[in-house]
Homo-oligomer: A and B are copies of this chain.
């Protein structure tokens, strides 16, 4: 095994460039592994690698600075030995693209000044709330009683979009709250005092003194770890403390394992990633997420889905123009020659035909011209398409999910999905099955889901979602046709905060077996489901 010791590669006196050259050397000279001495590596984006990346669910396609780049490598391992990559400003610290069999381990990512402001409530009554800013003044300006995040170079003001609230003692999302905890952003005014104190007026609610407000923008300028168009990736023992967008965004990769990779609070900051902790788009093979802890991030712990495509023009009997519809998810390699594709009607998302791609022509980031093997006479403008070859199996096992904004995990994987032995303490639904073909265009329907041996500990204590486990219904249903196929929920422990344990909706076959319930009575809604096999103790059922 050919191993490069980064300790011997510090040659330019510029640590960012040293990393760049060490990784280029590994590629050029076919090293199997690079080992970093444990250290805090203070990255200067000025000297980082750069690639044009189109990052799904982030938008802002174009050049991205990358501190640790693995591009076009095979059978390569990076061991950071517990080091920290400390970054500043807009960056995607780690990216793996066009690579195969890559292992990365033992690293912490921190970027203390993202577009997030943390402020602790020191007094509050019905007229005003006084807070002390604990983090984030550097990237914000106060103007006309508003707060704007700055993208200074281009004279852009980024609107501060929402506020969430953490309990200052427990670190949980404050019970009973959700987005916009002080009411609509447009009603709020801010007065900056000296010494990082701030007065907020116009709130529709008096929050608890000692609690912590997080003021967020929706601007996603980078990812903690990006992986795209790669195969057989293994990530081990990685902590993401803060980053500009999602913690990890993996797109169009096959076989990806996360072992002990998570979002983790640091230095008194209650937020971590500025969006989802992990997010998988258009992957295939097996996505395995094990032994991870997710906390404090600004969106779900995991979201796994494909991309619904909209048919916008029929060119001839075999050719369609299709469009990537959501502005944050463009320029993605959504179709490849040989891919099996199904067409669905957007309101029901029930597939009605299947075809195979014979040619793909990229027009631009939004529009793709596709030729199919068979006639597309049965497909019309306005239908959605789904790629059946870019949806993986998922194993989500032995993870801890707690104290983040929004939901636990969002499942839109068409393969074998196993969710087991996890601990969930989420403010929203712990497991949400959501897809839509009209706004986010995140596909797709599941075929085989097992949820077993999990502990749902007082989940859904905030406003996001409607049940601990929730399948979101479609606008339109078709008789005897189902968006999801087979779901089993067994041997789980539900410590109930509210009384809604599960909403099953639009599923061909559902089993609920041998679960334990404590805390409150638990009920289950069953809407447009086919075969059911339900345990009769512990739950009451509302069947529609």
Tally of contact residues, A, Cβ under 8 A: 44
Structural contact, A63 and B365, CB atoms closer than 8 A = yes
Contact with B along A147-175 (1 / 0, CB 8 A): 01001011111110100000000000000
Structural contact, A365 and B50, CB atoms closer than 8 A = yes
Contact with B along A32-55 (1 / 0, CB 8 A): 000000000000001111101000
Structural contact, A366 and B156, CB atoms closer than 8 A = no
The distance in angstroms between the C-alpha atoms of A20 and B366, with both chains bound, is 15
Among B46, B153, B156, point to the contact of A156 (Cβ < 8 A): B156
Contacts of A65 on B, CB cut-off 8 Å?
A: 364
Structural contact, A155 and B218, CB atoms closer than 8 A = yes
Contact with B along A109-145 (1 / 0, CB 8 A): 0000000000000000000000000000000000111
Contact of A3 with B by CB under 8 A: no
Structural contact, B146 and A46, CB atoms closer than 8 A = no
Structural contact, B148 and A155, CB atoms closer than 8 A = no
Structural contact, B63 and A367, CB atoms closer than 8 A = no
CB nearest to A313 among chain B residues: B14
Contact with B along A44-78 (1 / 0, CB 8 A): 00111110100000011111010000000000000
Contacts of A151 on B, CB cut-off 8 Å?
A: 156
Tell me the chain A residues, 96-117 only, with Cβ under 8 Å from chain B: none
- Closest Cβ of chain B to A287, distance in Å, is 29
Structural contact, B59 and A62, CB atoms closer than 8 A = no
Contact of A363 with B by CB under 8 A: yes
Contact of A201 with B by CB under 8 A: no
Among B14, B63, B315, B364, point to the contact of A50 (Cβ < 8 A): B364
CB nearest to A146 among chain B residues: B144
Structural contact, A59 and B159, CB atoms closer than 8 A = no
Contact with B along A189-201 (1 / 0, CB 8 A): 0000000000000
Structural contact, A157 and B159, CB atoms closer than 8 A = yes
Give me 8 A-to-B residue pairs in the complex whose CB atoms sit less than 8 angstroms apart, sorted by A's number.
A17-B363, A46-B323, A47-B321, A52-B63, A59-B154, A63-B364, A148-B157, A153-B327
